[in-house]
Chain A
Amino acid sequence: MRDYWLGRLFFDLQNSPAVAEEYRADRGRVLARYPLKPEVRAAVESDDVAYLSQLVNPYLLRFYFFMIGMPDEVFIGRLRAAGAAAAARSSHG
């Protein structure tokens, strides 16, 4: 599943250094311009890698967390935890 506006936010941050700079300075001001669902916006604000990974292209996800400065080992750790949790849910039907 793709959340269009989440993807659009990440795409714009990737392709506009000015927007990326503004975002780093004031996340809320940029987020206000995107009609994100409340739960999606909350996930962005809390750096919820696992939740966001279900909604956006993985390359845009990787770019976004790189852009906001999350170290790769933290990002990868959260992805793996999300994958393990999903596998556990799957195995429990």
Chain B
Amino acid sequence: MARLAGVFASSHAPLLVRGWEHIAAARKGRLAAAFAELGRRIARARPDVLIEIAPDHWVNFFIDNLPSVCIGVGEVHEGPPEPWMRDFPQPRIAGHPRLASHLLTAALERDFEPSVSHHMKLDHGFCIPLWKAGLDAIPALVPIVINGLEPPMPTVRRCYAWGALLAEAIATYPEDLRVAILATGGLSHSIGEPTMGEIDEAFDRECIRQFESGSERALIEFLNEHLPRIGNGAAEVRSWVAAHGAAAGRGFELIDYGPVPEVYVGCGFASWDLGTSAAEDNPR
């Protein structure tokens, strides 16, 4: 049977790539160290497959037909289409159609109705963390888009439930696979709004505290109260919430957090300690 081997989260600001040279040296050093630690933790989990959860930045979908959640079941996914991501080392990334289809079926059987894509482009939201984390090789990837850009968006509660569903589905997948989850987006930022450039560090730190506290209800209430009132980019924290749900709301470990004004984003990096069985399997 498959097993959940790790759960991780990362920011994915575009300026981490196309504005990297303009970031102050001290902050750049911390970001590089955080990405490296993220990469080490992912490598330690030895995933055969990585389920990556991120929003779509108007690359796959438009308002003609905008899914709340979409699972990429393709054999292969296209690398990032953004011109400034042209140096990303893999123009194509292998998928894992069998696990992806299992997730899709498991979701439908539990009355979740995701959209499905057989050919997905993975924009910077998917690729920057993979790239910056310095993985030797990118595992087979199952991308899951959670809409965090255009209202209406799935509720925070539903995103948490999606994470729990993913964990259940992984546990019932018959192949002997190690599966990890990487959630990307957030934390606070504001794009194309009058508050663009503002980072709400107080929100970010409370958000992290809520993840650490492990209270599902308190986290959901906190986000329901604050997300409508702060910069639009924080909506991407839905990806982190799904990861938290997959980890059953326990074991959140902050790798690092810092507001990075040069990239307009409160940048956060985290993993979840999955407990005894995972620890035995992943000696530190």
Contact = CB atoms under 8 A, between A and B. Distances in A.
User: Do these two chains interact?
Assistant: yes
Interface string B103-117: 000000000000000
Interface string A51-66: 0010001111111000
B195 A53 contact: no
Contacts of A11: 58, 62
A7 B63 contact: yes
Interface size class of B (residues with CB under 8 A): 10 to 19
B62 A7 contact: yes
A76 B197 contact: yes
B149 A57 contact: yes
Interface of A is mostly: helix
A82 B194 contact: yes
B63 A76 contact: no
A58 B197 contact: no
Interface string B191-215: 1111111000000000000000000
Interface of A: 2, 4, 7-8, 11, 14-15, 17, 53, 57-63, 75-76, 79-80, 82-84, 86
10 contacts: A2-B63, A4-B63, A15-B81, A53-B192, A57-B150, A58-B191, A59-B57, A61-B192, A62-B192, A75-B196
Given A2-B63, A59-B57, A62-B196, 7 more contacts: A11-B58, A57-B150, A58-B191, A58-B193, A60-B192, A76-B196, A83-B195
